[in-house]
Amino acid sequence: MKKFTFSILLLTIVAIANAQTEFKPFKVDVSLGYAIPGGTGAKGGVLFVVEPKYAVIPAVSLGLRMEAAVMARGTVDANGNAASVDVKAAGSYLLTGDYYFTQNTVRPFAGAGLGIYSLAAASANTNGTTYASTSASSKFGEMVRAGVELSHFRVGLEYNIVPKTTVESVDGSGAKTTYTTKNGYLGIKVGFCIGGGKIK
């Protein structure tokens, strides 16, 4: 009798642990956060994100991430000297996919994205020499992320992988200096989900 009671108790615990909650497939994630660019002389800033998503299956959501990040990207010359760079906004439009490891109220996830990063033209100054990039540009990049959703609350960490920008400046004497700007950045985000709640 004890073995039977223990078996029933064990099965009940397993069933509760594996119980899954069904969620509505469409939602919109809205987040604020802090952008941390890489490279010498970089300065962090704020970011804002809107990302509509649709769950093609309960564990997988596909979406479109639209993000604006305001920061100073790290820029150095050929000798590794840091330049003083203006703070500018960068935008991105990425197709994303997230995998949710559980279907309970607490949902840890991992994801990735691919798309276009729009980089604003920037000016920099090093050793009294000022240069300006030729123009604003767009680069194809990618993103990896992980985080957790708790009901309608969401927190995550994202790393944006964007190719470097190289600019060549010529001073009055005709001497050329090459500057390299790192465009990748880390994003720390806190936000909420509109929609996507439990199906009653």
For 158-189, what is each residue's pLDDT tens digit?
Answer: 999 999 888 776 666 666 777 778 889 999 99
Is it the case that residue 149 has pLDDT exceeding 60?
yes
> Does residue 83 fall inside a structural domain?
yes
How many structural domains compose the chain?
Answer: 1
> Does residue 10 fall inside a structural domain?
no
For residue 191, give the CATH number of its domain. 2.40.160.20
What are the start-end ranges of the E strands in the chain? 26-37, 45-57, 60-71, 75-77, 84-85, 88-100, 106-119, 123-126, 129-132, 137-150, 153-161, 165-170, 176-181, 185-195
Residue-wise pLDDT tens digits, 121-136: 766 665 665 555 556 7
> Does residue 200 fall inside a structural domain?
no
> Does residue 4 fall inside a structural domain?
no
> Does residue 1 fall inside a structural domain?
no
> Does residue 70 fall inside a structural domain?
yes
> Does residue 19 fall inside a structural domain?
no
- Residue-level pLDDT at 24: 87
Structural domain including 68 reads 24-195
Q: What is the mean pLDDT of residues 37-62?
A: 92
Residues 72, 91: Cα–Cα separation, whole Å = 13
Within 10 Å of residue 172's Cβ, how many Cβ atoms?
A: 6
Pairing type for strands 45-57 and 129-132 reads unpaired
Q: What is the DSSP letter of 3?
A: H
Mean pLDDT of the chain: 82
CA 120 to chain centre: 18
> Does residue 3 fall inside a structural domain?
no
